[in-house]
C-alpha cells in the first residue's frame, strides 16, 4: 500500500476516507515485522487493530475527533499503557503490565490515535546513546552500525523508518532532541510543565519533559496540541488552556530576529555539523529574518548544574533498587547511578539557584531576539558501543558530547525544537536546535516550518 509521507497528509486521507485506519494499521504492522532497527520492544498488534477498527467506525459515522483520529503512533517504553507491557528497557520491569494509562497515553487515546506499540529506550532513560537496553540497542536507520541517540532512540528510529506517523519520547538531558537530530526527524522538548508526566517513569523529576517526534514540523505541532494540557496528578504541571500549536505555521518570518550564539553552542562542534547549521542560519536570513550574534552567560555552569541535578535525582529515584538488587541494572547504568550517592547536598542546592539564574539569562537574550539557533548535537551519530570521541582534536566522552548542547534548556525548562538540517558527507543527519521563550512553542514551530518549507522536509 502506498502511504502518505506525513501525519497531516494521512490525517486528510483518513478524514476524507481515501484511506482507512484499518488498512493503514495493517500496512504498518507489516513494516514493523520486517524492521531491522530494533525500534520496538512490544508490538501491540491486537490492540492496534481494535483501535483502528474503532476509529474507522467513528469516522464513518461522522464522529471525527481531530487530526490524530485513526493515525498509528508509538509510545516510548517508559510511559504506562494500560494492558500493554511497559518495561523501561530494564530487567526490573521486563514483564510489567500497567493497569492505567499515563496522562499522555490517555490524551492520545482521546484523540483517537492508534497505538502500535512501545518503542525501545536506553535503560530507565538514563543514557543519550540508546544502545544500552535489556532488549538490545536500537540501530540508526541511516547506518546500522551507529547509534540512534537516546534515550528515545526507538521512537526516533520508528518515525524515521516510517513504522509510525508520530511517537512519544521523554527528554531530561536531550532524549527527544538527540535521537531526532541523529535519525533525521523533528523532535520537540516543550516548556517544563506543558505536558503532563503522571504515569511516566521518572529519571529526574524536576527536569523530565515529554514530547513528540514526527517527520515534519506541522505533524509535531498537531501531536503537541493533543498532548499538552493540565495534569492534576503531576505536581509540576502548569494549568493553561489548550492551544493549536499549528496556528502560526503559515505566517512569514520576515522582520523577525534570530540569535546565533558566539560561544558554547559552537565550541567543540564537528566541522560538518557546524557547516550544516551555519547554512541553515543563512536560510533564515534569506527568508527575511535578521540574524544577530548573541551571548548567553554562564552556560558551562548551567550545564554542570544540570548534570549534577540529574545524577542526584536519578540516584534518589533508584535508591531502593540499588541497595537491594543492583545486579539487575545494566552495568554501565549501575556505574553512573552509583556516582549520585556521594554528591554533596550543598552542591545540589547551588545547582537549583543556577537553574533560576539560567532562566533569567536566557529570557534576557530572548527579550532581544525571537528565537535562538544552534546545533542540536555537536557530532553526527557515533558507533554503537563507542564511549570516547575526538571532536576536531577535543577529546570527550560520547555521553558528555551528546548532551552538551541540549542540557541547558532541560535545566531552565525553556522549549526547544530540533529539525533536520541536512547530512554529513557520509549521509548522517544533522539537527538544528531552535530555542524560544517559555510557553511559546507555537513560535518555534513557525520558525521550524518556515525553514523546512525553504529547504524541504528530510525525506
**Residues with active-site annotation:** 76, 151, 175
Helix, strand, coil percentages in the chain from 3-state DSSP, rounded to 5: 40, 15, 40
- Enter the C-alpha cell of residue 424: 554529513
As a whole number of angstroms, the distance between CA 126 and CA 176 comes to 13
Q: Mention every residue, 6+ apart, whose C-beta is less than 8 A from residue 363.
A: 437, 438
As a whole number of angstroms, the distance between CA 184 and CA 153 comes to 12
Residues in the chain: 459
Burial of 356 (0-12, 13-18, 19+ CB in 10 A): exposed
Burial of 321 (0-12, 13-18, 19+ CB in 10 A): middle
Query: Is the distance from CB of 450 to CB of 421 less than 8 angstroms?
Result: no
**Distance from the Cα of residue 244 to its chain's centroid:** 19
Query: Is the distance from CB of 53 to CB of 95 less than 8 angstroms?
Result: no
Sign of CA dihedral 337, 342, 347, 348: positive
- Enter the C-alpha cell of residue 36: 531491522
Query: Is the distance from CB of 104 to CB of 151 less than 8 angstroms?
Result: no
> By three-state DSSP, how is residue 373 classified?
strand
Give the DSSP H/E element, type plus range, for residue 257: strand 257-261
Amino acid at each position: 500500500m502506498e502511504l502518505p509521507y506525513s501525519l497531516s497528509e494521512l490525517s486528510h486521507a483518513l478524514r476524507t476516507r481515501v484511506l482507512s485506519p484499518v488498512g493503514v494499521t495493517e500496512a504498518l504492522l507489516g513494516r514493523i515485522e520486517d524492521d531491522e532497527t530494533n525500534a520496538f520492544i512490544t508490538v501491540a498488534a491486537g490492540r492496534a487493530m481494535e483501535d483502528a477498527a474503532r476509529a474507522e467506525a467513528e469516522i464513518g459515522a461522522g464522529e471525527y475527533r481531530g487530526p490524530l483520529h485513526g493515525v498509528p503512533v508509538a509510545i516510548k517504553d517508559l510511559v504506562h499503557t494500560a494492558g500493554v507491557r511497559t518495561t523501561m528497557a530494564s530487567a526490573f520491569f521486563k514483564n510489567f503490565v500497567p493497569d492505567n494509562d499515563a496522562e499522555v497515553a490517555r490524551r492520545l487515546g482521546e484523540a483517537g490515535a492508534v497505538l502500535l506499540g512501545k518503542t525501545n529506550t536506553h535503560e530507565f532513560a538514563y543514557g543519550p546513546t540508546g544502545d544500552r537496553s535489556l532488549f538490545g540497542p536500537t540501530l540508526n536507520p541511516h547506518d546500522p552500525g551507529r547509534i540512534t541517540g537516546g534515550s528515545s532512540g526507538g521512537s526516533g528510529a520508528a518515525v524515521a523508518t516510517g513504522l509510525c506517523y508520530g511517537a512519544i519520547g521523554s527528554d531530561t538531558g536531550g532524549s527527544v532532541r538527540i535521537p531526532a537530530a541523529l535519525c533525521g526527524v523533528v523532535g520537540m522538548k516543550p516548556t517544563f510543565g506543558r505536558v503532563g508526566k503522571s504515569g511516566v517513569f521518572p529519571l529526574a523529576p524536576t527536569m523530565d519533559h515529554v514530547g513528540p517526534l514526527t517527520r515534519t514540523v506541522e505533524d509535531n505541532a498537531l501531536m503537541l496540541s493533543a498532548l499538552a494540557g493540565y495534569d492534576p496528578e503531576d505536581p509540576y504541571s502548569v494549568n493553561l488552556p489548550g492551544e493549536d500549536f499549528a496556528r502560526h505555521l503559515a505566517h512569514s518570518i520576515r522582520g523577525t530576529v534570530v540569535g546565533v550564539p558566539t560561544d558554547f553552542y559552537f565550541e567543540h562542534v564537528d566541522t560538518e555539523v557546524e557547516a550544516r547549521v551555519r547554512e541553515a542560519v543563512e536560510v533564515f536570513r534569506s527568508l527575511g529574518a535578521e540574524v544577530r550574534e548573541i551571548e548567553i552567560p554562564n552556560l558551562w555552569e548551567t550545564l554542570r548544574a544540570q548534570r549534577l541535578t540529574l545524577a542526584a535525582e536519578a540516584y534518589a529515584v533508584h535508591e531502593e533498587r540499588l541497595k537491594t538488587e543492583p545486579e539487575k541494572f545494566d552495568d554501565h547504568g549501575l556505574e553512573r547511578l552509583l556516582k549520585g550517592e556521594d554528591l554533596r547536598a550543598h552542591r545540589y542546592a547551588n545547582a537549583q539557584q543556577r537553574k533560576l539564574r539560567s532562566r533569567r539569562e536566557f529570557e534576557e537574550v530572548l527579550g532581544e531576539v525571537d528565537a535562538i539557533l544552534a546545533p542540536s548535537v555537536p557530532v553526527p551519530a557515533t558507533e554503537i558501543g563507542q564511549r570516547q570521541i575526538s571532536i576536531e582534536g577535543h577529546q570527550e566522552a560520547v555521553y558528555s558530547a551528546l548532551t552538551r548542547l541540549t542540557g541547558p534548556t532541560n535545566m531552565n525548562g525553556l522549549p526547544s525544537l530540533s529539525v533536520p538540517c541536512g547530512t554529513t558527507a557520509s549521509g548522517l543527519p544533522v539537527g538544528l536546535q531552535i530555542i524560544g521563550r517559555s510557553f511559546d512553542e507555537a513560535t518555534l514551530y513557525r520558525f521550524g516550518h518556515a525553514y523546512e518549507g525553504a529547504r524541504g522536509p528530510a525525506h
